[in-house]
Amino acid sequence: MENPRIWFDGKLVNHEDATVHVLSHVLHYGSSVFEGIRCYKTDKGSAVFRLREHMRRLVDSAKIHRMEIDYDLDTLCDAVVETIEDSGLDACYIRPLTFRGHGKMGVNPLNNPVRTIIAVWEWGQYLGPEALENGVDVQVASWSRPAPNTIPAMAKAGGNYIGSSLIKMDAIKNGFAEGIALTVDGYLSEGSGENLFIIRDGVIHTPPAAFSILPGITRDSIITIARERGYEVREVAMPREALYIADEVFFTGTAAEVTPVRSVDHHVVGGGTRGPITTELQTALFDVLHRGEDSHGWLRFVGDA
């Protein structure tokens, strides 16, 4: 099937019929919340990585923005599986999105219906095919992350990505793969769509959840795996120069998985190649994602698996 059907408010509809009105609130005011999830073709069958945690974050994001989703968490998880199975894809990217549709025009979101879609498509490696092995060159962004109590960073809301888009465009225009944003106080935060990890002297550091970051599910998985392997993981405030003197730096995210960073602002990180701890953690995560070795109950198998 070239364009898989899209789950739209409880029904699977053809790709071309999944449309909205141009006066939908979301188009004018950015009122959506969404998720990015992946289904992998593991050695044990097709499986979605941490489906329930992702859909729970969608429900949480909706709650923060006072959107009432008509479906409970179990129904939403089952709808994802139904959409994947209907598509016939054995590996895909999954995009659930809840948004304010067409009601009474004006800022007041409460006058507009809450609608939900789930779409799936084939998607390769986010930061380029070479990135997972060789790493990426990044810059510290000139745009900061939203200050606390401005736009809620814990919600994965469409409007938040206006900031991420500025960070990403700046990076690309400057010849980098990605930008790392600082908080308004100047501490390290995250990439436009990835969480950040820094390793020095064998200790793993990452900005705390309160630092205007999205609490990433890959971040949580990597912290869990690293601690199980005996590494110390510190969630601490760090200045930008911590990047320049790091032994290893890497990004985590559903799209980026574990992507090494080989330079920041033209400072070479460590040896300029994927470091040993990054390699170990990446391999451990890939054992789950590709080999289906799931000791944490992180995989939900789909189809005939």
Give the residue numbers annotated as catalytic, written as ranges.
156
> Which single residue brings its beta carbon nearest to ligand PMP?
216
The answer to the question of residue 206 lying near ligand PMP (CB under 6 A) is no
The answer to the question of residue 214 lying near ligand PMP (CB under 6 A) is yes
> Which ranges in the chain belong to alpha helices (H)?
25-29, 51-64, 73-87, 131-134, 161-173, 217-228, 241-244, 276-289
Residues 180-199 that bind ligand PMP (CB under 6 A): 190, 193-195
- As a whole number of angstroms, the distance between CA 268 and CA 261 comes to 9
Strands (E), 122-222: 136-140, 178-182, 188-191, 195-200, 203-206
**Which has the closest alpha carbon to 214: 197, 233, 234, 193?**
193
The answer to the question of residue 218 lying near ligand PMP (CB under 6 A) is yes
Residues 247-266 that bind ligand PMP (CB under 6 A): 252-254
Smallest gap from residue 194 Cβ to ligand PMP (A): 5
The answer to the question of residue 158 lying near ligand PMP (CB under 6 A) is no
The answer to the question of residue 216 lying near ligand PMP (CB under 6 A) is yes
Residue 87 contacts residue 1 (beta carbons within 8 Å) = yes
Work out whether strand 257-264 and strand 267-268 pair parallel, antiparallel, or are unpaired.
antiparallel
Separation of CA 151 from chain center = 18
The answer to the question of residue 207 lying near ligand PMP (CB under 6 A) is no
The answer to the question of residue 212 lying near ligand PMP (CB under 6 A) is no
Place of tokens 């120069």: 241
Q: Which is nearer to ligand PMP, 198 or 217 (CB)?
A: 217
Q: Which is nearer to ligand PMP, 207 or 292 (CB)?
A: 207
Backbone angles phi, psi at 44, to 5 degrees: -105, 10
Q: Among 164, 206, 212, 259, which residue sits at the site for ligand PMP (rule: CB under 6 A)?
A: 164
Smallest gap from residue 25 Cβ to ligand PMP (A): 22
Residues that bind ligand PMP (CB under 6 A): 36, 164, 190, 193-195, 214, 216-219, 252-254
